[in-house]
Structure 1
Amino acid sequence: MPTVATVRPAARTAALICAALALAVGAALVPAPAAAAPGDVGDEGGTPALRAQLEAASKGYLDAKAALDRSVKRQKQLAGQLTTTESQLAERGSKVAEIAAQAYRSGRLSAASALLNSASPAGFMDRAAALDAVAANEERALGELRATRDEVSRTKQALDREVQEQRKQVAVMAKRKDQAEQALTVANERAEAAQRAERAPTRAGGSSPRAAPAPRNANGSWPAESCSVNDPTPANGCITPRTLHALKQAKSAGFTRYVSCYRSGGSGEHPKGRACDFAAQKNGFGGAATGGDRTYGNNLAAYFVNNADRLAVLYVIWYKQIWLPSSGWKTYSGARGDPSSDHTNHVHLSVY
């Protein structure tokens, strides 16, 4: 018969085993929480200086593009105006030429002879009135011709100014493109070769649903916006109306997985309410997306790129790459090499 001394250790051992099993079973039954949002562990990848350069380059590029679009529109209007005015010039030139030809054929009647040859006071008055009418008609025709010639000249000068404006804006766009690409080249020179193989999948997605355009100013530029509307995502905070518009458009297009927008503190666009992180996985921000989750991220990134002009996209970051309106997709190395800073578990969107 076992003694009390031998039974108690055995009982204690059994109790410990049972407790361990209970903990293990309990842990298995409770779903693992989704990984923390990227903002909880870091920023948008890269360095603050790099992000500041990319923001300035993209904003400058979009401003120049808007100015170029306005200039091209004005040029088309001026070209139409010039066509109309030149047609009027030809018509009025013909009219003046006809008056001159008539005067040459019949001889211009002097005022003195016309009045002296009148047979009566009434005739005298009639001839005086007729002379005034003829002179007024000729003067009006000449005046219209001169005014039309001046208008043609002014329109041509305005067209020349628009061409100069367009050359200026194209040069600014090229400069901003170089600025962004040089900043990325310096930041990514070590990672370029290793990540080259991963570029092609990011560009997948083909055609995308068409987003409703965000409101613009009357001249086509983007209005300044502040962090002024409530962030509907679990991040709780404020975002800009344009950010909210992009978020709603993405959800309407079927991209309904977890999203986090506002983040207090740190650098980048999140604290300004101009950025959102869209999780690639259904259960939130986890490890690097693969399979269908990566396809979801590819399609979402393509959606923002294909609607960049409608949504005022500054840049999109996804799977170690960044898309800029000036340069397209470029390598973008993360700050720490983890899924959040490498953006392999979420698509980052920044808007103007």
Structure 2
Amino acid sequence: MKQLDGVLCIDKPLGLSSNAALQRVKRFIGAAKAGHTGTLDPMATGLLPICLGDATKFSRFFLDADKTYLTEVRLGQTTSTGDREGEILEEKPVPPQLDVAHLEEVISQFIGRIEQIPPMYSALKHKGQPLYKLARQGKAVDRPSRSIEIRSLDLVSHASPLLTLKVTCSKGTYIRTLAEDIGRKLGYGAHLASLRRTASGPFTLEDAHQLPDRYEMQLDSADERIERAPELLAAEARSLVAAIRPVDLALGHLPRLDIDAAAARSLIVGREVIIRDPGLGLGLKASKPQDLADASLPEKPLYRVYGLGCFLGLVHPSEEAVGSAAHARLRLEICKLVNTSAIVASLQ
């Protein structure tokens, strides 16, 4: 097993769970530690960012990121699971020609902050039991609604009884529930026919790589699989390792902060650092992305901190420092793995 650090984006294929995809990547490239950043159901495909090694410390920032999906909604049928894999519970006729103006008017009602009731077929728990296990037993329990935000929702195409939608949403959004709610509002009922994730935080499908497989199908037999040549597998593994992106590139939505070498050494070994520079407000040489307005920053924003020529981790000024022009107290909230032994030696 190798210590590989960074983020690797995979295009998850149909029929494979997110965890199975993660384990396949981990074995294929020999990574010692890995974790994915947001589950895709087996029936869903698309972008699955995988955090490797030290990047797993930062995975919650990717879990919290907005996601974008391309989805097909099948009008006129409701199912037990809210998607095409469930039993059909009810069918209603759908006209061969859909009123586009009415479709767009209904769809627009779901844009913004809305309340959504999670589906029974989900990993959320009720008294310690996953809801999907209760659903398989034919049980239903009350689920409190949750506030989510649909950033954008566009009608891409329609061919009755199918709608193709592009959705950008906050974390915790269930696209199956959104499809059902739209179908209910239209008066036909609906279920999710397909789902493909196209973006997650700063990543898009353009960043994604095909999931490797040790085997390939024989062209003359749909049932026979043969092991691929070791040299081809090794070349694909090297290609995937080369595609691993530094974790700080994935945190580009956070403002950047640069500190001097002495402060960097102290932060890395766990010391609190006081930076004094009355001319810089908080004493920080900070730069914010141009599209991140001051008004959108939290009261105690996290910063990507850099020193000694590398990314060190995440910090935020202590509460007492906010608004002070005299000093700022910093301590690493999340630390990136660096060669601390050499730094400790330099402090002695």
TM-score, reference length from structure 2: 0.20
* Higher strand fraction (1 or 2): 2
| Structure having greater relative contact order (Cα 8 Å, sep ≥ 6) | 1
If each structure's helix is expressed as a fraction of its own residues, which one has the higher value?
1
Rg: which structure is higher? 1
